[in-house]
Structure 1
């Protein structure tokens, strides 16, 4: 494992620092907005603006990366993210915060694209699963750690914003100093939602509605916690419990879906999440421990749903369609995540804190009902044609597909011909050393009558 991770250690450290600041901002802003007296609608608009920026970034950021190159684009995006963390404290205005969150969502989409293209450059068929799983674990752990930083600082002051900015700023240092190979080009794909819907209606509608529900819990959980009387520290624990529950559930739920029609698993997840959300709405948690436990349960049942829906979509497409399918699902999820927070905020304004979970319950039950309907009109794919659950491919962390999932001859995939970087040439001693490690195996594999043994290079 160390041999696999050493070449990308700097990249993973940058990911951890960036998402540490991201997690802190995600929890700090709803809490600080509540302290500033912002309305529920204003907080919901800020959350929706973040996802709107992320959706735009998924479409537009590749062109910015193409123009400037990966390293310069990375530095620019991280700098913008760092500046945004300070502007919240400088301009405590709901409209300004919504605009800043939109810009930050755009930068994070570009950040994910650069990071994941770099990871894909370093991955091989032998280590891709371990590498991408490590990346996802670091991603979630860093966000949770950032949320918990709020327990150590005063959200009403300037310090928390400074810490978020410092963490994001430091993310550029490891990437700037690394000597590893530069990332592969970004891929461009067409978004064809109608084609995706015809291919897998359950997955397309599922990702849209899952975005509405999960986008709400990710962004408005701290506000809900504050409104039911939890302290700032407890609100941070409440928000991180949702992610923690999702992390625990991803793999076992995914493996369970390999053994049956994935739609049954989705129905179960949606049904249980709807019941738990209804329970929280009707019987508000009376203690912090009860609230945090319920948050973890919501995360356990709700967070894996996107991965299961994506895996179901992959069961219905060939490998050369994975790029377009993944991009379409991420776009649908992003659109849903844009709709969810502002809708939930309106309901919270009308019904109080419970309105958030009323909306989540309605969405989850609606999705369960739709999938039940789909069971009556389409049979499950044959077991022999299904793909195994793969968290690295179905996670909604980012949106860049692994190299073996696309075909360069596919007209829907256009490889960037923008700035790239050539590796430094090897000297004669390095050539001889490379021959010692690789040349003998190469000679054994091709040294036959049709392929004479190659001539061994000699140093000058």
Structure 2
């Protein structure tokens, strides 16, 4: 087992170190924008700039990655991120921050394409789900641990930015010093979103649906819980259980997808999302006594099902791909996910206006039901490879 997984130590270690710094930067910028009293419209523009760079990077960086290889591409993206992170230490200027956030988004997705393509191309069909699960665990663990730096440094000093730049720069070393060969490109194919959708509509829509759900969860769940008059301590506990569930069930679902039909595992994950979203809707609507005894376990399971939607969809899509199609397919799936994550917070409020704060869970269930109906009705013209 160790002999197999040692092939992924370098990319997993690199993404863990890099994500630790990047997650700290995201939180730091939100805090700084609040301190400087930027209007909500400007904060929205900065967020949009990041996602625009993320989506365009996913669409156009694959050619560069295929030309120079994984290691050189990762080094290039990480070096640019280090410089951009440092430039955020200049006096606050929204006009300057807009292009910086755009570049940061493009290079961030470039790093994800490199790491995920490396994993998908090397893992093989029998172990791909398990390796993807470990990748997601490293990613979420790094994002959580990055927040701990706030306890050891002042936000008004340059120390956080130095730590961020240092972490991103250090992430280069595992990739550049590994003695293992990077996956080779053999007649790499380049194709667009339309071709990817034709290859695996269910996997593509699964990624988009996962983005809709997780984008809304990250952006609107705290607002929904606050409107339901949860205390800050209760909100923190619920969110903690969601993220714990998301991390705890990654590997079991990944292992399950390596032994069972991946289509049915994906459908099972979306079905679980429907059930526990409905359970939370019911518990919050009727305000049962000791409701936290229902809410917390349901939150744990919601995290477990929600956070597995994207890796399961990606894993299922790879069943229809040749080795030469992995890089452009990874980029296309990231476009689908990020488009969903950007659209979700704009669509979900319509449900919240109709059903109140608990309408967010109606949106989760509606999205999941829509994906399941499509997957069940669609009959693929291609068989898994």
> Which TM-score applies when normalising by structure 2?
0.71
Counterpart of 1:305 in structure 2 is 309
Counterpart of 1:140 in structure 2 is 140
Q: Is 2:29 the counterpart of 1:29?
A: yes
How far has the Cα of 1:214 moved from its partner? 0.9
Point out the structure with max Rg over C-alpha: 1
Q: Is 2:272 the counterpart of 1:268?
A: yes
Contact 1:147 1:240 in 2 (8 A): no
Pair 1:298–1:101, CA change in 2 (3 A): farther
Counterpart of 1:330 in structure 2 is 334
How far has the Cα of 1:77 moved from its partner? 1.3
Counterpart of 1:400 in structure 2 is none
Contact 2:137 2:250 in 1 (8 A): no
Cα distance per residue 1:415-455 (max 9 Å; x no partner): xxxxxxxxxxxxxxxxxxxxxxxxxxxxxxxxxxxxxxxxx
Contact 2:246 2:304 in 1 (8 A): yes
Higher helix share: 2
Residue of 332, 339, 344 corresponding to 1:340 = 344
How far has the Cα of 1:109 moved from its partner? 2.0
Contact 1:45 1:341 in 2 (8 A): no
> Which ranges of structure 1 fall in alignment gaps of 5 or more residues?
388-404, 406-460
Cα distance per residue 1:31-86 (max 9 Å; x no partner): 44334334445444444433332222222222333555544433331122122323
Counterpart of 2:191 in structure 1 is 190
Residue 149 of structure 1 aligns to a residue in which SS? helix
- Alpha-carbon distance between aligned partners in 2 of 1:342 and 1:105, rounded to the nearest angstrom: 20
Coordinate RMSD, CA, aligned? 4.8
Superposition pairs for residues 309-458 of structure 1, below 5 Å?
309-310=313-314, 317=320, 323=326, 328-341=332-345, 358=359, 360-371=360-371, 373-374=373-374, 377=377
Pair 1:152–1:267, CA change in 2 (3 A): same
Residue 90 of structure 1 aligns to a residue in which SS? coil
- Alpha-carbon distance between aligned partners in 2 of 1:131 and 1:81, rounded to the nearest angstrom: 26
Counterpart of 2:149 in structure 1 is 149
Contact 1:276 1:294 in 2 (8 A): yes
> Which ranges of structure 2 fall in alignment gaps of 5 or more residues?
none
Pair 1:153–1:195, CA change in 2 (3 A): closer
Contact 2:116 2:330 in 1 (8 A): no
Residue 59 of structure 1 aligns to a residue in which SS? helix
- Alpha-carbon distance between aligned partners in 2 of 1:189 and 1:275, rounded to the nearest angstrom: 44
- Alpha-carbon distance between aligned partners in 1 of 2:38 and 2:169, rounded to the nearest angstrom: 28
Pair 1:176–1:292, CA change in 2 (3 A): farther
> Which TM-score applies when normalising by structure 1?
0.62
- Alpha-carbon distance between aligned partners in 2 of 1:343 and 1:122, rounded to the nearest angstrom: 37
Cα distance per residue 1:134-181 (max 9 Å; x no partner): 444323322222133334444454432322221112112333444443
- Alpha-carbon distance between aligned partners in 2 of 1:177 and 1:35, rounded to the nearest angstrom: 41
Counterpart of 1:165 in structure 2 is 165
Counterpart of 1:181 in structure 2 is 181
Pair 1:239–1:47, CA change in 2 (3 A): farther
Pair 1:132–1:224, CA change in 2 (3 A): same
How far has the Cα of 1:220 moved from its partner? 6.8
- Alpha-carbon distance between aligned partners in 1 of 2:329 and 2:67, rounded to the nearest angstrom: 26
